[in-house]
Amino acid sequence: MAHRRDKRTFYRCMHHYRHPDECLHTHAIFYDDLYKAVLERIRATARLLQDDEAFYRLVEEKAGLDTSEMQLMQERDKLKRRQQELSTLLFKLFEDHAAGLIADANYVSFTNRYQSEQTEIQGKIAVLDAKLEQQVDYQVGAEQLRQAISDYLNIETLTPFILNKLVEKIQVGHMEKFDGQEVQEITIVWRFAGSMIQ
């Protein structure tokens, strides 16, 4: 935090001064501008999260949930059934080989093919499980934010308590000009939902 001659408090990015090769632009924001932006973002987010339909649509969109939970579970179940089929085939193959019904070369060839497919399926199942877990995590986090922010729909004053309850961190971007107006991006990383809701 620093002060200018006009006595307006501002925040300045010190990363630029410490690492000028990484951060090429110096940037700062006035405290009162940041305060107004964060206060308005909290109000807007509280309003947005009041509408159930808009809330769930936003969570699905921001979380990258292009595939429904049901579709992921169906795909996982299909892969698990195939994995079980392969285990059965491997067991039968082993029995047939032990009984002398299959030549050694064929036994090795089929065993390698089935085991390779099993390994591939295990990897796909792990990816699907991770996607399902991610969906649940996003939904839980967004719901926690929704509950925490619901009290601040008509907030008039931003206090440190409210800020710490709702916000993990605030990222202020470089000042840029668009259509002759200076614009500065402010990203709020919410305590429960990350930056998924802006």
Average pLDDT, the chain: 82
* pLDDT of 6: 62
- Cut 0.85: pTM above it: no
pLDDT tens digits for range 62-89 = 665 556 777 888 899 999 999 999 999 9
Containing structural domain, residue 83: 2-190
Per-range mean pLDDT, top range of 3-12, 26-35, 138-147: 26-35
Specify if 9 maps to a domain: yes
pLDDT tens digits for range 126-151 = 998 888 887 777 778 777 777 777 77
Specify if 196 maps to a domain: no
Specify if 195 maps to a domain: no
Lowest model confidence (mean pLDDT) among 53-57, 108-112, 118-122, 192-196: 192-196
**Number of independent structural domains in the chain:** 1
* pLDDT of 122: 95
Task: List the structure tokens of 11.
Answer: 């925040």
Specify if 198 maps to a domain: no
**Spatial contact of 198 and 51, defined as CB atoms under 8 Å apart:** no
